């Protein structure tokens, strides 16, 4: 028995922490759940259906999303891709994105996917305290070259055990946690006057190219574009706060 996207859509409407979507071979939305609509600041599904990412997201982000969709249309599977999603009406949020080619009679006809908000760590897990020690070490030393074998030794676990328990407690691998820490630090530093190159090095990236590549893959835009957008948003918030006081 096969389930259609029409039947899946109302089920995903009930999940406020999951974005669900289906796109056709040209990257246009054919299905979108209520979570996606609300985060785009839209009231009606018709405002999403038939449109591409470049019509719904800023150009700096839409291009990255479209490129990812193109890879999926070419047959690639995106599995638990750690991303920061930035919507107009909410603060940036971390999520795990999964996308698969949508096949009809063996031919790729579109993209189907979800983006699930990153949940809180499972503090009741038996290894939580040991993993917390590892996390604290990573938070203090994210700019350094951290080896997974050394992290496993710190938790008194094998590498395989560390990977498995990290996924269970934090929903992420140790490498994804390290990427998250580095990108969060970079997002903060991009609000300063530091150069992009120096920020990349300060956050543990080997060079500016590696930093820009990882930042764009995770945030959906280049570091310079994020800096421009974030500073503009900060200026708008400051202006709005002054207007309220007046």
**Residue ranges of the domains in the chain?**
7-117, 128-227
Each residue's pLDDT tens digit, 198-234: 999 999 999 999 999 999 999 999 999 999 988 888 7
pLDDT at 244: 65
Q: Which CATH architecture has domain 128-227?
A: Orthogonal Bundle (1.10)
185: pLDDT confidence band, cut at 50, 70 and 90? very high
Q: In the sheet where 93-104 sits, what is the strand order?
A: 29-32, 18-24, 107-117, 93-104, 78-85
Tell me the pTM: 0.90
pLDDT of 180 over the 90 cut: yes
Assess whether the region 7-117 and the region 128-227 belong to the same CATH fold. Answer: no
Each residue's pLDDT tens digit, 142-156: 999 999 999 999 999
Choosing among 3.30.450.20, 3.30.465.10, 3.40.30.10, 3.80.10.10, the CATH entry for 7-117 is 3.30.450.20
CA dihedral 151, 155, 159, 161 (to 10 degrees): -150
pLDDT at 246: 60
Q: How many CA atoms lie within 13 A of 81 on its CB side?
A: 25
Helix (H, G, I), strand (E, B) or coil at 20: strand
Identify any residues that bridge with 82 across adjacent strands, giving them in sequence order: 96
Rounded Cα distance, 141 and 201, in Å: 13
Return the number of other C-beta atoms located less than 10 Å from residue 89's C-beta.
Answer: 9
pLDDT of 88 over the 70 cut: no
């Amino acid at each position: 028995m096969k389930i259609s996207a029409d039947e899946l859509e109302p089920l995903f409407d009930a999940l406020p922490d999951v974005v669900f979507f289906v796109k056709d071979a040209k990257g246009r939305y054919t299905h979108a759940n209520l979570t996606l609509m609300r985060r785009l600041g839209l009231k009606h599904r018709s405002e999403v259906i038939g449109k591409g990412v470049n019509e719904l997201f800023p150009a700096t982000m839409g291009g990255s999303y479209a490129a990812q969709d193109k890879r999926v249309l070419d047959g690639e599977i995106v599995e638990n891709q750690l991303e920061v999603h930035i919507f107009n009406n909410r603060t940036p949020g971390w999520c795990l994105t999964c996308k698969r080619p949508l096949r009809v009679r063996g031919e790729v006809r579109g993209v189907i996917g979800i983006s699930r908000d990153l949940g809180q760590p499972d503090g009741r897990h038996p290894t939580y305290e040991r993993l917390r020690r590892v996390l604290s070490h990573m938070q203090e030393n994210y700019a350094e070259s951290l080896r997974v074998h050394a992290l496993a030794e710190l938790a008194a676990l094998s590498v395989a055990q560390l990977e498995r328990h990290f996924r269970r407690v934090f929903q992420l691998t140790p490498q994804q946690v390290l990427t998250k820490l580095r990108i969060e630090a970079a997002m903060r530093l991009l609000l300063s006057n530091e150069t992009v190159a120096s920020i990349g090095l300060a956050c543990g990236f080997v060079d500016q190219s590696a930093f820009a590549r990882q930042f764009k893959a995770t945030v959906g835009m280049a570091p310079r574009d994020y800096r421009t957008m974030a500073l503009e948003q900060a200026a708008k918030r400051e202006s709005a706060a002054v207007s309220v006081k007046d």
